[in-house]
Amino acid sequence: MECSVAQIAAMVGGKVVGCGSDRITGVSGIREAKKGQLTFLAQRKYLSFLNKTKATAILVDSTIIKPQALPCNTMKTLILVKNASQAFDRILSEFSTEEKKPSKGKISDQAFIGSGVKLGKNVQIQPFVVIEDEVQIGDCTCVQSGVYIGKEVSIGADCHLYPNVTVLSRVQIGSRVVIHSGTVLGSDGFGFEPVPGKLPKKIAQRGTVVIEDDVEIGSNVSIDRARFEETRIGKGTKIDNLVHIAHNVEIGKHCLILGQVGIAGSAVLGNNVVVAGQAGIVGHVTVGNQTTIASRAVVTKDVSSNVVVSGFPAQDHQKAKRLMASMSFLPQMVRTVSELKKRIESLEKKNT
Amino acid sequence: MECSVAQIAAMVGGKVVGCGSDRITGVSGIREAKKGQLTFLAQRKYLSFLNKTKATAILVDSTIIKPQALPCNTMKTLILVKNASQAFDRILSEFSTEEKKPSKGKISDQAFIGSGVKLGKNVQIQPFVVIEDEVQIGDCTCVQSGVYIGKEVSIGADCHLYPNVTVLSRVQIGSRVVIHSGTVLGSDGFGFEPVPGKLPKKIAQRGTVVIEDDVEIGSNVSIDRARFEETRIGKGTKIDNLVHIAHNVEIGKHCLILGQVGIAGSAVLGNNVVVAGQAGIVGHVTVGNQTTIASRAVVTKDVSSNVVVSGFPAQDHQKAKRLMASMSFLPQMVRTVSELKKRIESLEKKNT
Amino acid sequence: MECSVAQIAAMVGGKVVGCGSDRITGVSGIREAKKGQLTFLAQRKYLSFLNKTKATAILVDSTIIKPQALPCNTMKTLILVKNASQAFDRILSEFSTEEKKPSKGKISDQAFIGSGVKLGKNVQIQPFVVIEDEVQIGDCTCVQSGVYIGKEVSIGADCHLYPNVTVLSRVQIGSRVVIHSGTVLGSDGFGFEPVPGKLPKKIAQRGTVVIEDDVEIGSNVSIDRARFEETRIGKGTKIDNLVHIAHNVEIGKHCLILGQVGIAGSAVLGNNVVVAGQAGIVGHVTVGNQTTIASRAVVTKDVSSNVVVSGFPAQDHQKAKRLMASMSFLPQMVRTVSELKKRIESLEKKNT
C-alpha cells in the first residue's frame, strides 16, 4: 500500500502540520523508521526522537504537542491526533496484509481424530494434532500442529489455538478465544494432604476449566482444573505469558493479568481487575471490581472494589508509597536516634 | 451413583444431624452445589454459606461446628466428620468414574519408536510420541501424544506422562510418577563462564536428572540436568506449575514445592520441606528437614531443620513478622523522631 | 577413556601434589565421586570434602590451597590449577563422548515440510516437525521432534532446536543458536487498550523476533514478537529457563538473563548486562552496559552503565545493602524511640 500523509490524516481524523502530499509506503517504530515511513509518538519521554527519527511523518498525541508550541526547528510532517497509539494501530492494519490464522478450513490427514468428534464448518486442523473422542469444535476455529485436545473438550467458533497448546479432558472454551503456544489448560490442581511419616496423599482433581468468549491467553501459561466444578476465566479477560492460575480460581470479565503473575487456589477476582507483572494473590481471597494490583504486589487478604494496592502485603497504594518514602529515611534515622539518645543522657545528667 | 445421606455418613464414619434418608445424586463445591448434591465445609470463613448453599447435605468438620451449638435455623442435613475435606475426597471418588490414564495398553502406529526400546506390559503410547533408542519403560505406564523421550531414558511402572512433556537423554524416572503437560526434564543447566571481551563460554552440562518414585510434577516446569552426576527429586515430592529447578539441585523426600518457585544451582533441600509460592532459593545453600519457606521468601543462606522462614533475606518467621509489624510504624516514627529532636533542642537551650 | 593423574595435569597445566601415576577412569562431583575418579574443588565452602571424597584425585584452585599449607593428613592426590572449574570442564569433555545434537543430517519422512522451504546441507529434521512455507534453515542445523517453524522463518547454520520448541512466523534466528524445549518465540505481545464498558481492544502485534548468532535460550521461555519491527536478543546472550521477554524489548550482546526474570515491553538492555534470578524490569526503561541487576530486584527507571543495583525499587547495591542493614534495627528502634519520648517528657516536666 502507498498513500499520502493527507489520506492517513483523513483515516484517523487528524490534523496535518507540514506537508500533506508526502508519500507514505510503510509504518515503523520511531527509532527504526526509515524515509517514506509513518511512525508515532505517544509518550513524552520519546519526544527527543521527534527530530532524530528518519520517518517522513509522525502521528503525535495532541496532548503532548500543541500546534502553536511546536519546536520551530521541526522539519518533520506531523499528524496531530487524540490518541496516537490507537491511530497508528488503525494505519498499521492498513499496511499489513498478514493473516495469522490460516484462512481456509483444511483437516490434515496427518492429524489423529478420535470417534464422535464434531467439527464445524471451515475448521482447520494442522498435522500432528490429536483430538480425542467426543470433542466438539465450532466453525472457523484453527488448531495448529502439536495441539492436544482431550476427551469431551468443547471449543467454540473462530478460535485460534497456536502450536503445541495442551487442552485436557472436559475443558470448555468459548468463541473467539486465542491461546498461544505452550499453554496448558486443565492440568491437575496442586492438592496434596500431608500424611505424617508417609507420602502426601493426592486429593483427586475432578473438576474442569471454563474459558469464556473473547479470552486471549499468552504462551506457556498454566491453568489448573478445579478440584470439582470449575476454574473459570471470564469473558474478554486477557492473560499474558507464564501466568500460573491454580485450581478453583474464578476471574471475572475484562480483566488484564500480566506476565508471570501467580494466583493461588480458590481466589476470586471481580470484573475489570488489572493484575500487573509478577504479582501474587494468595488462596481463598476475593478482589473487587475495577481494582488494580500493582507489579510484584502480594495480595494476602480480601481487597475491595475500585482501589489500587501495592507492596507485600498489598495495601492502599498511596499508603504503600508513603511507607516506601519513609524507608529511604531509615539509615539516617538510625543515626539520628542514636545521637538523640546521647543528648538525652547528657541532659539527664545535668538535671540530676 | 445415588445413595442416602446415611450411607455416605457410614462410608466416612460421620454423624448425621438431620435427615439420613435424603437422597444424594452428586457432589459439588458449597457455592455451586444444587439440590440433591453433597458438599463440604472445612474452613470457618465459608460458614456463612451453610444456609445459602442449595446442597442437600453438607460434610462439616466437627471442629467448626459442635452439634449442640448448631445454628437453630439450619435446615440442611449435616454430616459431622473429623476432616471434612478428606471425607469429601473419599465420596468424590465414589461419584466420579473418569479414569485419567487410559486403562488399556496400546502402542499407536503413528508413534516413532527407535531401536533397542524395551516396553513393559500394558504400556500405552499415543500418536506422535517419539521414543529414541535404548529407552526402557515399565508396565502400565502411559505416554500421551507429543511426548518426546530421549536416548537411554528409563521410566518405571505405572507412570503417566501427559501430552507434550519433554524428557531428554539419560533422565531416570521411577515408578508411579506423574508429569503434567509442557514440563521439560533434562534441559541444560545454565552454565556460562564470562570471558572479558568475548562470548561467554558454555560449561558442558553432561549430567542427568533423577526423579524418584511417587513424584508428581505440574505443568510447564523446567528441571535442568546436572553439570555432571544428577539433579535429584526425592521420593514422593510434589512440584506445582512453572517451577524452575536448576542444575545439581537435590530435593529430599515428601517435599511440596509450590507454583513459580525458583531453586538455583546446587541447592540441597532435606525431607518434608515446604517451599510456598513464588519463593526463591539461591545457589549452593542447604535447607534442613521439615522446614517451611514462606511465600515469596528468598533463602540466601543455609536454613536449619524444623523452622519456618519468610522475607527477603529469609529469616525466622516470627522475627520477620515483628519486622513487618514495626515497618508499619515507620512513617509515624519519622515524624516522632523529628519532633523529639526539636524538643531536645529546646531542652538543651534552656539548660545552657 | 583412562589416563594417569600426570597426564591430566599436563592437559590443564596443573601441578601434581601426590601420586602422578594414579589411574583415572572417570569424573564426578566431589560428593558423589568414587575410587578411580577425578573431581574438583573450586569453592572454599566445600573444603571439608577434601578428605571425605572417595575420588582418587582432585583438581583444586591454587587460590584455595597453597601447596606449602596443605593439611598434613591429606592422603588424596591433588592437581593445583588456576581455575579448577574450567580445568574440570576441559577434562569432562575428554571423558564424555555423548554428542547432544545428532551428528548426521537426516530428514524424517514423518515430518511435514511446506512449499518453498530451503534446507542447507546436513540439516536434521526429526519426526512430527512442522515446517511451514518459505522457511530457510542453514547447514548442520538440527530440529528435534514436535518443533513448529512458522511461515517465512529463517534459521542459520549449526543451530539446535530441542523438542517441542515453537518458532512462529517470520522470526529470524542466527547461527549457532541453541533453543531448549518448550520455548516459544514470536507469541503476540500483550497489547490491549481498555475500552470503558466494552471488551479491551487488541492492538495488532505485527512485528517479529530477531535472535542473533550464538544465543542460547533455556526451556519454557516466552519471547513475544514486537508490535511492529523487532524484539531483539543480541549476539552471544544467554537466557535461562521460564524467562518472560515482552514485545519490543531489545537485549544487547553477551548478556546473561537468569531464571524466571521478567522484562516488560520496550525495555532496552545494553551489552554484558547480567539480570539475576526472579528480577523484573518495567517497560520503556533503559539499562546501561556492564550493569548487574541483582536477584529479585525490580528496575523501575533507567539504570546507567557499570553499576550494580538491587532491591525494589532497584537502587545502588551498596545503598540498598545499608537500607537492608538498618531495617534489622527497626523493631529495636521502635522501642528506643518510645522510651526516649518518655525520658524527654520527664525532662520537660522537671524544666517547667
| CATH number of the structural domain spanning residue A259 | 2.160.10.10
- DSSP H or E segment with residue A323: helix A317-328
From A95, A130, A160, the end of a domain falls on A95
The range of the structural domain enclosing residue C260 comes to 112-319
β-bridge partners, C154: C136, C172
Query: At residue A335, what are phi and psi to the nearest 5 degrees?
Result: -65, -45
β-bridge partners, B286: B268
Asked whether C229 and C210 are in contact (CB, 8 A), the reply is: no
Q: Residue C317: what residue type?
A: H
CA distance C159 to C105: 13
Q: Which of A160, A180, A244, A247 is catalytic?
A: A247
Task: Give domain status of residue C339, yes or no.
Answer: no
Q: Does A88 touch chain B (CB under 8 A)?
A: no
Provide, as residue numbers in chain A, all residues whose Cβ is less than 8 Å from the Cβ of C280. Answer: 260, 277-278, 295-296
Greater confidence, C53 or A178? A178
Provide, as residue numbers in chain A, all residues whose Cβ is less than 8 Å from the Cβ of B164. Answer: 146, 148, 164, 166, 184
Asked whether C277 and C292 are in contact (CB, 8 A), the reply is: no
Provide, as residue numbers in chain B, all residues whose Cβ is less than 8 Å from the Cβ of C87. Answer: none
Task: Give domain status of residue A309, yes or no.
Answer: yes
Query: At residue A49, what are phi and psi to the nearest 5 degrees?
Result: -80, -10
Helix (H, G, I), strand (E, B) or coil at B317: helix
* 8 Å CB contact of A145 and C130: yes
Residue C317 CB-density burial (10 A; 0-12 exposed, 13-18 middle, 19+ buried):
middle
**Minimal Cβ distance to B347: which of C28, C238, C351:** C351
**Minimal Cβ distance to C280: which of A256, A278, A341:** A278
How confident is the model at residue A212, as a pLDDT?
Answer: 98
Q: Look at residues A345, A349, B351, A351 and name the one whose alpha carbon lies nearest to residue C336.
A: A345
Strand A26-27: give its sheet, edge to edge: A15-17, A77-81, A57-61, A37-41, A26-27
B340 and B248 part of one domain: no
* 8 Å CB contact of A168 and B181: yes
Task: Give domain status of residue C129, yes or no.
Answer: yes
B162 and B297 part of one domain: yes
Greater confidence, B302 or A16? B302
Cis previous bond, C196, omega within 30: no
**pLDDT tens digit sequence for A284-332:** 999 999 999 999 999 999 999 999 999 999 999 999 998 888 888 888 8
* 8 Å CB contact of A180 and C188: yes
Q: Look at residues A25, A59, A22, A66 and name the one whose alpha carbon lies nearest to residue A40.
A: A59
User: Which domain CATH number covers B60?
Assistant: 3.40.1390.10
Number of domains in chain B: 3
**pLDDT tens digit sequence for B84-100:** 988 888 888 777 766 66
Provide, as residue numbers in chain B, all residues whose Cβ is less than 8 Å from the Cβ of C93. Answer: 204
Top-ranked range on mean pLDDT: pick from A114-118, A196-200, A336-340, B20-24? A114-118
Greater confidence, A117 or B194? A117
What is the grid cell recorded at B160? Answer: 503417566
How confident is the model at residue C267, as a pLDDT?
Answer: 98
C35 and C167 part of one domain: no
C117 and C256 part of one domain: yes
Residue window 132-191, chain C: list those with CB within 8 Å of chain B: 144-146, 162-164, 178, 180-182
**Minimal Cβ distance to C242: which of B227, B242, B313:** B242
Q: Does B350 touch chain C (CB under 8 A)?
A: yes
Greater confidence, C63 or A288? A288
B305 and B266 part of one domain: yes
B130 and B168 part of one domain: yes
Q: How confident is the model at residue A269 (pLDDT cuts 50, 70, 90)?
A: very high
pLDDT above 90: percentage of residues in chain B: 59
Q: What does the mean pLDDT of chain A come to?
A: 91
Residue window 58-77, chain A: list those with CB within 8 Å of chain C: none
CA distance C26 to C38: 6
Provide, as residue numbers in chain A, all residues whose Cβ is less than 8 Å from the Cβ of B277. Answer: 262, 264, 280, 282
C238 and C279 part of one domain: yes
Q: Look at residues C266, B32, C40, B115 and name the one whose alpha carbon lies nearest to residue A232.
A: B32
Provide, as residue numbers in chain A, all residues whose Cβ is less than 8 Å from the Cβ of C202. Answer: 216
Q: Does B298 touch chain A (CB under 8 A)?
A: no
Greater confidence, A29 or A223? A223
How confident is the model at residue C139, as a pLDDT?
Answer: 96
How confident is the model at residue C128, as a pLDDT?
Answer: 98
From A69, A95, A121, the end of a domain falls on A95
Rounded to the nearest angstrom, the gap between the alpha carbon of residue A199 and the centroid of all alpha carbons in its chain is 38
Q: Which residue of C has its CA nearest to B112?
A: C127
Task: Give domain status of residue A342, yes or no.
Answer: no
Q: Which residues of C are catalytic?
A: 247
pLDDT above 70: percentage of residues in chain A: 95
How confident is the model at residue C276, as a pLDDT?
Answer: 98
Of B184-193, B337-346, C105-114, which range is least confident? B337-346
Q: Which residue of A has its CA nearest to C285?
A: A45
* 8 Å CB contact of A98 and C200: no
Q: How confident is the model at residue A98 (pLDDT cuts 50, 70, 90)?
A: low
B25-31 contacts at long range (C-beta below 8 A, 24 or more positions apart): B25/B1, B26/B95, B27/A228, B27/B88, B27/B91, B27/B92, B27/B95, B28/A228, B28/A229, B28/B55, B29/A226, B29/A227, B29/A228, B29/A229, B29/A248, B30/B55, B30/B58
**Minimal Cβ distance to A187: which of B126, B127, B181:** B181
Task: Give domain status of residue C345, yes or no.
Answer: no
SS (H, E, C) C86-135: HHHHHHHHHHCCCCCCCCCCCECCCCEECCCCEECCCCEECCCCEECCCC
How confident is the model at residue A291, as a pLDDT?
Answer: 97
How confident is the model at residue C235, as a pLDDT?
Answer: 97
Q: How far is CA A297 from CA A300, B7, C323, in A?
A: 9, 47, 20
Q: Look at residues A205, A194, A285, A247 and name the one whose alpha carbon lies nearest to residue B83.
A: A194
**pLDDT tens digit sequence for A22-51:** 889 888 888 888 888 999 988 888 888 888
Task: Give domain status of residue A117, yes or no.
Answer: yes
- DSSP H or E segment with residue A328: helix A317-328
Residue to mutate among B161, B330, B332, B339, with most A CBs inside 10 A, is B330
Task: Give domain status of residue B103, yes or no.
Answer: no
CA distance B183 to B161: 10
The answer to whether residue C70 scores a pLDDT higher than 80 is no
* 8 Å CB contact of C337 and A337: yes
**Minimal Cβ distance to B127: which of A112, A182, A336:** A112
Task: Give domain status of residue C165, yes or no.
Answer: yes
Q: Does C347 touch chain A (CB under 8 A)?
A: yes
Mean pLDDT on A209-228: 97
How confident is the model at residue C278, as a pLDDT?
Answer: 98
Of A264-268, B69-73, B150-154, C299-303, which range is least confident? B69-73
Q: Which chains touch B (3 or more CB pairs under 8 A)?
A: A, C
Q: Which residue of C has its CA nearest to B127?
A: C128
Count how many pairs of residues, chain A against chain C, have C-beta atoms within 8 Å. Answer: 182
* 8 Å CB contact of A246 and B256: no
Q: Does A341 touch chain B (CB under 8 A)?
A: no
Q: Does A236 touch chain C (CB under 8 A)?
A: yes
CA atoms within a 13 Å half-sphere pointing along the CA-CB vector of C218 = 36
CA quadruple B69, B74, B78, B82: dihedral sign: negative
Mean pLDDT on C224-239: 95
Greater confidence, C82 or B72? C82
A53 and A123 part of one domain: no
ipTM of the complex: 0.86
**Minimal Cβ distance to A347: which of C226, C333, C347:** C347
CA distance A56 to A77: 7
What is the grid cell recorded at B339? Answer: 519532633
Mean pLDDT on C223-241: 96
The answer to whether residue C228 scores a pLDDT higher than 90 is no
* 8 Å CB contact of A244 and B256: no
Helix (H, G, I), strand (E, B) or coil at C182: coil
Q: Which residue of C has its CA nearest to B145?
A: C146
Of B195-204, B310-319, C119-128, which range is least confident? B195-204
B295 and B161 part of one domain: yes
Provide, as residue numbers in chain C, all residues whose Cβ is less than 8 Å from the Cβ of A164. Answer: 146, 148, 164, 166, 184
Q: How confident is the model at residue A196 (pLDDT cuts 50, 70, 90)?
A: confident
CA atoms within a 13 Å half-sphere pointing along the CA-CB vector of B207 = 26
Provide, as residue numbers in chain A, all residues whose Cβ is less than 8 Å from the Cβ of C204. Answer: 89, 92-93, 96
Residue window 97-136, chain A: list those with CB within 8 Å of chain B: 112, 128, 130
The answer to whether residue A75 scores a pLDDT higher than 80 is no
Helix (H, G, I), strand (E, B) or coil at B17: strand
CA distance A142 to A105: 8
Phi-psi region of A147 (alpha: psi -120 to 50; beta: other; left: phi over 0): beta
Q: Which chains touch A (3 or more CB pairs under 8 A)?
A: B, C
The answer to whether residue C226 scores a pLDDT higher than 60 is yes
Q: Which chains touch C (3 or more CB pairs under 8 A)?
A: A, B
How confident is the model at residue B103, as a pLDDT?
Answer: 56
How confident is the model at residue B196, as a pLDDT?
Answer: 74
Count how many pairs of residues, chain B against chain C, have C-beta atoms within 8 Å. Answer: 183
**pLDDT tens digit sequence for A122-177:** 999 999 999 999 999 999 999 999 999 999 999 999 999 999 999 999 999 999 99
CA distance B204 to C178: 13
CA atoms within a 13 Å half-sphere pointing along the CA-CB vector of A313 = 14
Residue to mutate among A143, A166, A312, with most B CBs inside 10 A, is A166
Rounded to the nearest angstrom, the gap between the alpha carbon of residue C7 and the centroid of all alpha carbons in its chain is 33
How confident is the model at residue A70, as a pLDDT?
Answer: 63
How confident is the model at residue A74, as a pLDDT?
Answer: 60
**Minimal Cβ distance to A337: which of C262, C322, C333:** C333
A141 and A268 part of one domain: yes
Q: How far is CA C190 from CA A59, A178, A182, A240, C257, in A?
A: 22, 12, 16, 6, 21
**Minimal Cβ distance to A343: which of B89, B98, B344:** B344
A157 and A74 part of one domain: no
Q: pTM for the full model?
A: 0.88
Q: What does the mean pLDDT of chain B come to?
A: 91
B165 and B240 part of one domain: yes
Mean pLDDT on B39-54: 85
A71: which DSSP letter? -
How confident is the model at residue C27, as a pLDDT?
Answer: 86
Q: How confident is the model at residue B72 (pLDDT cuts 50, 70, 90)?
A: low
Q: Does A18 touch chain C (CB under 8 A)?
A: no
Q: How confident is the model at residue A67 (pLDDT cuts 50, 70, 90)?
A: low
CA atoms within a 13 Å half-sphere pointing along the CA-CB vector of B79 = 29
CA distance C70 to chain A (A): 44
* 8 Å CB contact of C228 and A146: no
CA distance C132 to B47: 56
CA distance C115 to chain B (A): 22
Provide, as residue numbers in chain C, all residues whose Cβ is less than 8 Å from the Cβ of A144. Answer: 148
Greater confidence, C261 or A351? C261
Of B266-280, C195-209, C269-283, which range is least confident? C195-209
Q: How confident is the model at residue C76 (pLDDT cuts 50, 70, 90)?
A: confident
The answer to whether residue C48 scores a pLDDT higher than 90 is no
